[in-house]
């Protein structure tokens, strides 16, 4: 999973830079036309990290903290009473990502080759390793793209710096 970990580092850095530079008073705002707020996106990415840890046999606290508000099928809201704060989400994203990277780095090939135990994308991602690869790359990239689109719709600049 060397390539997936490299891509995850790049995309996580971009997602964090985008999220951290959003003004606090805009972090919970839904995009014009509907969709996911930066708050929901970061909470959902925390949940994804936790799900990856669960696939690798752990019982991460982050799933309990994020499942209801940020899980699949949840309804994005601007109500701060139902959401974690920006600083808390960013901290949880960093720590849950670090835990997932460590778990993936230490996972043995046999564990990654096992059938993934959920019905989510079962045909497309038949093994635990396939699903972990998705969480590290395409899932993160899709939601980072949503974060970028939200930022641009609000007139914020791109964080992409090309040399």
CA dist 145 and 151 (Å) reads 10
Ordered alpha helix ranges (H), 21-155:
38-55, 61-70, 86-106, 109-113, 128-136, 138-153
Is 83 in contact with 77 (CB distance < 8 Å)? yes
pTM above 0.85, yes or no: yes
Q: What is the mean pLDDT of the chain?
A: 93
Q: Which domains does the chain have, with CATH numbers?
A: 2-153 (1.20.120.450)
User: Cβ contacts of residue 56 below 8 Å, gap of 6+?
Assistant: 103, 104, 107, 111, 128, 132
Give the model confidence (pLDDT) of 22-80 as tens digits: 999 999 999 888 889 999 999 999 999 999 999 999 999 999 988 889 998 898 888 88
Cα-atom radius of gyration of the chain, to the nearest Å? 16
């Amino acid at each position: 999973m060397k390539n997936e970990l490299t891509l995850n580092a790049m995309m996580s850095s971009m997602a964090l830079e985008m999220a951290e530079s959003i003004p606090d008073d805009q972090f919970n705002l839904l995009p014009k036309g509907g969709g996911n707020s930066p708050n929901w996106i970061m909470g959902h990415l925390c949940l994804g990290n936790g799900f990856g840890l669960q696939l690798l046999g752990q019982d991460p606290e982050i799933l309990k903290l994020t499942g209801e508000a940020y899980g699949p099928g949840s309804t994005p809201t601007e109500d701060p009473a139902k959401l974690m704060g920006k600083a808390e989400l960013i901290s949880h994203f960093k720590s849950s990502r670090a835990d997932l990277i460590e778990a993936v780095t230490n996972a043995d090939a046999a564990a990654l080759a096992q059938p993934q135990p959920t019905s989510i994308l079962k045909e497309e991602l038949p093994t635990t390793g396939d699903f972990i690869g998705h969480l590290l790359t395409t899932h993160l990239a899709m939601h980072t793209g949503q974060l970028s689109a939200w930022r641009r719709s609000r007139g914020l600049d791109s964080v992409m710096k090309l040399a």
